[in-house]
Amino acid sequence: MTDKTTRAERLAMPLAREVVRDLAMEHGACIRPIQLRRRNLDTGEVDQVLVPCGNTLAAACPACAERARTLRAVQCREGWHLGDEPDVQPDPATEDQKWWITLRAEAQQHRDQAAAAGTDTTDFDELITELDDQITNSGIRGKAAPAKPARRHRSTRRRQDAPDLPRRKVNPRTVGKTYTAPDGKTFRPSLFVTLTCPSYGRVGEDGAPADPQSYKYDQAARDALAFAALFDRFVQNLRRYLGYDVQYFATIEPQKRLAPHVHIAMRGTVARAEIRRVLAATYNQVWWPSTSTVKYDGDQLPVWDPGTRTYLDPATGEVLPTWDQALDELGDQPHQVARFGVRFDAQGVLAGSKDASRCIGYLTKYLTKQVGDCHHPETDAARAHAARLAEALRCQPCTPTCANWLRYGIQPKNARPGLVPGRCKGKAHDPDHLGYAGRRVLVSRKWSGKTLADHRAERKDWLLSTLGVSATDPARYAWEAVAPGDPDHMDHARRLLHAVADRARWQAALIEARRRAADMGDMLPPRRAA
């Protein structure tokens, strides 16, 4: 090779940075490592530690997303066939937690005194909201006091078009029944259930409707928005109907027609006929104003009047009804009644079986992707379908404060200047989410008896003990974030190089530890064939 290379030759050479990035991915290293400064409190020694970014989306960091997915699979597996009641006694409150609750108590007292004296309570209400957030952040579940009761009372009478469900008292038991076969063997089956949205019109293989004109896009959009609430209803009904505290690990993902569906690993088993019965009785009603007529569209939009802090009709200057006024005028028809589709899938699964692994694979398959990223339209019809659904989602109000209410001639709750219908920033309107803005994994509280952090800590302990390394004592170190301006800040390229080196070293150590364990195994009596 001569010293001189042609431009073409140079272009054909791999780019160093890309090689590092690819190598990082190959080694399963985080590609966005975060730099922390670690100070040893005994010796004063300072070193730099790179911690993984922890992103759950493969598009952001494949290695971290894959680790998060496997952790969910572990969590799913551990709870599914639990034979003993999990221990979920809450920990006693820490000093920090007690301190936040004390502040919250004082704030409540001041607020109530102000209210009794007829003075403005806005500041106290804001303070209480902030303190509630702090209390949640400190690791306390629930609220210190229930939220203000809703101003309106809606009929809680069952809908006439939904069958009634017998109710049993819910027993605190969370584990399923054990069955004994004639040969004395016992087994405890659990269930894998998939629930879908109803039909909005027939769809083809590619997920696109056979007749786009009659496909119910608005209903599809509204159902996606209410999907999490509907799932909650189903669980409530199921528990009341079966009479025990049914536990679940569920994941929500889109079908090819881009409607959400939910896969549920359920502890214990239920007959299909019973699920059908619970499904038929399950619905979720949303009491919002009607969106059947579009009042303002295009460039004829309501205008904000800074004087009265209200939105006005652009032509007549008339004040639009406020959110509260619109609710006062609601009839006895809800804005929406969401239901699951009548078709569902349910199969019994035994602990440790191949089926169990396959189902856990299903349950966690798409967790590293955004909802809108799970399926890519392959035909023109499917692309047109995705576009029409996105348009329907853009126009549906996502919450009472959504700017889209202006489109239907109603001022959103807490109206403020600058609201433009169709431009709400709510996550649900984003094509990435397809109307579903909630969490992707829904786990009941008594599933495995452990939090995700507990599962993560167990995995770390396993790794450390396999490697024969003792964990660092957290009390001996102080950690600080390293800012871009700091003299010891490493740029991304350097961090990535370090991450690759760290990872390669760990992997080599793990292989070595496994080899040693295998050698030890050779000296032990051979394992009994299963």
- 62 vs 284, 384, 500, CA distance in Å? 37, 30, 14
Shortest distance, position 372 Cβ to Zn ion, whole Å: 16
Strands (DSSP E) contained in 176-239 are 179-180, 186-187, 190-196
Task: Decide whether 127 or 415 has the Cβ nearer to Zn ion.
Answer: 415
Apex CA 366: angle with CA 363 and CA 370, to 5°?
A: 135
The pair of three-digit structure tokens given for residue 326, joined into one six-digit string: 């619109």
Task: Decide whether 59 or 453 has the Cβ nearer to Zn ion.
Answer: 59
In this structure, are residues 424 and 404 in contact, taking their beta carbons and an 8 Å threshold? yes
Shortest distance, position 410 Cβ to Zn ion, whole Å: 13
Which backbone phi and psi does 192 adopt, to 5 degrees? -120, 115
Task: Decide whether 52 or 289 has the Cβ nearer to Zn ion.
Answer: 52
Angle between helices 16-26 and 62-80 (to 10 degrees): 10
Task: Decide whether 398 or 415 has the Cβ nearer to Zn ion.
Answer: 398
Q: How many helices (H) and strands (E) does the chain have?
A: 13, 14
Shortest distance, position 403 Cβ to Zn ion, whole Å: 6
Task: Decide whether 239 or 429 has the Cβ nearer to Zn ion.
Answer: 429
Task: Decide whether 64 or 270 has the Cβ nearer to Zn ion.
Answer: 64
Shortest distance, position 325 Cβ to Zn ion, whole Å: 20
State which H helix or E strand residue 37 sits in.
strand 34-40
Residue in 68, 112, 35, 1 with CA at minimum distance from that of residue 366: 68
Shortest distance, position 58 Cβ to Zn ion, whole Å: 10
The pair of three-digit structure tokens given for residue 10, joined into one six-digit string: 């140079």
Shortest distance, position 297 Cβ to Zn ion, whole Å: 16
Task: Decide whether 62 or 209 has the Cβ nearer to Zn ion.
Answer: 62
In this structure, are residues 359 and 265 in contact, taking their beta carbons and an 8 Å threshold? yes
State CA 97 to chain mean position distance: 26
Collapsed DSSP state (helix, strand, coil) of residue 354: helix
Shortest distance, position 469 Cβ to Zn ion, whole Å: 22
Q: Are strands 344-349 and 190-196 parallel, antiparallel or unpaired?
A: antiparallel
Task: Decide whether 194 or 404 has the Cβ nearer to Zn ion.
Answer: 404
Q: Given the rule CB under 5 A, which residues bind Zn ion? A: 30, 32, 52-53, 61, 64, 398, 402, 424, 426
Q: How many CB atoms lie within 10 A of CB 9?
A: 10
Sorted by sequence, the CB contacts under 8 Å of residue 50 that are 6+ apart come out as 30, 33, 34, 35, 36, 495, 498, 499, 502
Task: Decide whether 348 or 422 has the Cβ nearer to Zn ion.
Answer: 422
Q: How many CB atoms lie within 10 A of CB 225?
A: 25
Task: Decide whether 61 or 275 has the Cβ nearer to Zn ion.
Answer: 61
In this structure, are residues 29 and 499 in contact, taking their beta carbons and an 8 Å threshold? yes
Shortest distance, position 306 Cβ to Zn ion, whole Å: 23
**Judging by beta carbons within 10 Å of its beta carbon (0-12, 13-18, 19+), is residue 260 exposed, middle or buried?**
buried
The pair of three-digit structure tokens given for residue 308, joined into one six-digit string: 């009265």
Shortest distance, position 32 Cβ to Zn ion, whole Å: 5
Shortest distance, position 69 Cβ to Zn ion, whole Å: 13
Task: Decide whether 35 or 121 has the Cβ nearer to Zn ion.
Answer: 35
